Structure 1
């Protein structure tokens, strides 16, 4: 005996084809998300690492040949005249390290560039030291054989010094905090944009909410990262401006897209930020390691530009930061224009809907009211 109420409407079953298609589509989305995050790491290789080399011309040529033979295409070598010139290039982030040849060989690193590059340069220092000692020992043996040195002469031990020109802060010696902070910045911009799009009505109110969110977020995040944990370095207010602008750029873009095309705009902003910009941001590895030209393309998105800007402001104040600032400003401008354009578009839609809903007589009267009357 059935106990169901005959007055209760029966919910129709989902067609089999649609159910299977939804399941396959959901699995495909998961695969795309996985690919977006794993692909840049799996395909990364050591290539085109910019380094400087200073020293006697013959030795520089020999080192270039040795590096190319050991790992062809791994390094982009720039010749400089002195150690000071190499240090300047490191501080402006035109190169990630340097090899100084001569009587006192030295390898210059910048751990603030990331652990991966520092480890590579440490390996180079070890290889140079081994080669230099082997060459010195061979030269002594030749001298003994030629009678220019007495038997039993021992070659002097050559030590290659490793100097960290731009070290990380002692509070973040391995750079884990600086690397980990990039994702919360992305997530923060997304969260603010989505919540404001859904919960705040009115274009100007949304713009005010996004601005307030960015200011509060920039001050709060930098207060934690710099004032509390000491991860960030440099000028507090400039760092707060950079972080706040990054959050504003992402949030305003999502709100602007939502104003222009509705709820689909939130998805567009989320996909471009999380699935395109974030994996290509090079926040965890040098952009040169990524398959070309994706590393460079990633710097045109908010996650890449903000990660580079925050690192440069903290550890490379001499570096040229104009490009990331312009990228963040450009995305912010797109978002603001989208909000304003969506405001006027919605006004037109509402006015059209009101006119269509008016009865014919009311519409006629409304039109008559618009006819200019004689003074």
Structure 2
């Protein structure tokens, strides 16, 4: 074989040391355990506490019902007294309460399936309790009046904010959180690796957020029918969440280099996604984890998306500020990374 031919043969890569190979296997198994723990931990610790529920009715009816509910569900409910049924409905539609109890001559339980299966389940249990209490009161009144029969009492359960007919179980709304989180990470990592130049990265982020938000809204709402609300409001919620996560990842990568790419998956997937409230609202997670989740883009994005889809009357200023803050933070980190690079040269 000639010297030219032998020179063309690439040298074999050095073999990995045995200890390093074993250590890598241990580290990867630890990562798998962390991922499994992140996705399964919330469902193992859910315990509702201070779930806001509006209640209205005559004073003589409120006291015994509130006392009974406090005794049967100690700490689970936070009963908010409102003037009338309309006020209870308004509290639910503005997301100040997850449900309502109407007492008086026409008792009724109000729920909102769009708020989530967990809270709807609590309102269904309250409906059963109120139905039993109303029947007992009717029986006592009939006995006192000497009536031969006890009248049948029916307490209606009214869904004030129902899910769309194409997603009656809410599975589609819950699944919308995954493309939101993965979309933010994919966009951030892709732009950080493929685009050079700070202003070009900003342009790529803005275009990706606008196009990605419009596309995801078209798929989740227009094609699959999983979401309600106005199309552009849903697209805006998706787009702002993509921008918040993408900008943060690009910013950390610009400042820290390749290691900064790992910050996004850790913050948004391993920490933020389990605490986002897609399956269980913040009141169902132990403090302070439920509240912490709403300060991260997955939680804020999920809340904003639910508001845009079903609760247009809700105050969305908090999730808007959180997502905008993460987007601004990412852009500031990008600028710092640019200045740091100039200083090195």
Shorter-chain TM-score: which interval? over 0.9
SS at match of 2:55: strand
1:10/1:201 CA distance change after superposition, 3 Å = closer
Compute the TM-score of the two structures, normalised by the length of structure 1: 0.86
SS at match of 1:157: coil
2:260 aligns with 265
- C-alpha contact (below 8 Å) 2:300/2:319 kept by paired residues: yes
Residues 32-47 of structure 1 aligned to structure 2 (within 5 Å): 32-47=34-49
- C-alpha contact (below 8 Å) 2:118/2:279 kept by paired residues: no
Compute the TM-score of the two structures, normalised by the length of structure 2: 0.93
Distance in structure 1 (CA, Å) of the matches to 2:259 and 2:119: 41
1:321 aligns with 316
Residues 22-41 of structure 1 aligned to structure 2 (within 5 Å): 22-41=24-43
- The alignment's C-alpha RMSD in Å is 1.8
Give, in angstroms, the shift of residue 231 of structure 1. 2.6
1:200/1:64 CA distance change after superposition, 3 Å = same
Where does structure 2 lack aligned partners over 5 or more consecutive residues? 1-5
SS at match of 2:229: coil
Q: Rg: which structure is higher?
A: 1
Of 29, 37, 50, 1:48 maps to 50
Please list the CA deviations of residues 300-348 of structure 1 after superposition, one character each: whole Å capped at 9, or x if unmatched: 0000001000101221111110011011111001111122222222222
Please list the CA deviations of residues 129-152 of structure 1 after superposition, one character each: whole Å capped at 9, or x if unmatched: 1222123223323x2xxxx536xx
Of 83, 96, 99, 2:98 maps to 96
Give, in angstroms, the shift of residue 11 of structure 1. 5.7
Of 62, 65, 71, 2:64 maps to 62
Matched, 1:242 2:241: no
SS at match of 2:54: strand
Please list the CA deviations of residues 193-225 of structure 1 after superposition, one character each: whole Å capped at 9, or x if unmatched: 111111122222111111111111011111122
Distance in structure 2 (CA, Å) of the matches to 1:296 and 1:79: 24
**Alignment: residue pair count:** 338
2:3 aligns with none
Matched, 1:208 2:203: yes
Residues 293-312 of structure 1 aligned to structure 2 (within 5 Å): 293-312=288-307
Give, in angstroms, the shift of residue 27 of structure 1. 1.6
1:278 aligns with 273
Distance in structure 2 (CA, Å) of the matches to 1:135 and 1:60: 14
Give, in angstroms, the shift of residue 104 of structure 1. 1.2
Distance in structure 1 (CA, Å) of the matches to 2:155 and 2:12: 81
1:346/1:314 CA distance change after superposition, 3 Å = same
- C-alpha contact (below 8 Å) 1:107/1:161 kept by paired residues: yes
Matched, 1:336 2:338: no
Give, in angstroms, the shift of residue 22 of structure 1. 2.2
Distance in structure 2 (CA, Å) of the matches to 1:173 and 1:252: 35
1:167 aligns with 162
Give, in angstroms, the shift of residue 234 of structure 1. 2.5
SS at match of 1:78: strand
Residues 342-357 of structure 1 aligned to structure 2 (within 5 Å): 342-349=337-344, 351=345
Of 169, 181, 184, 1:189 maps to 184
Residues 223-238 of structure 1 aligned to structure 2 (within 5 Å): 223-238=218-233
Give, in angstroms, the shift of residue 228 of structure 1. 2.2
Distance in structure 2 (CA, Å) of the matches to 1:51 and 1:239: 27
- C-alpha contact (below 8 Å) 1:105/1:161 kept by paired residues: yes
Please list the CA deviations of residues 65-85 of structure 1 after superposition, one character each: whole Å capped at 9, or x if unmatched: 211222211111111221111
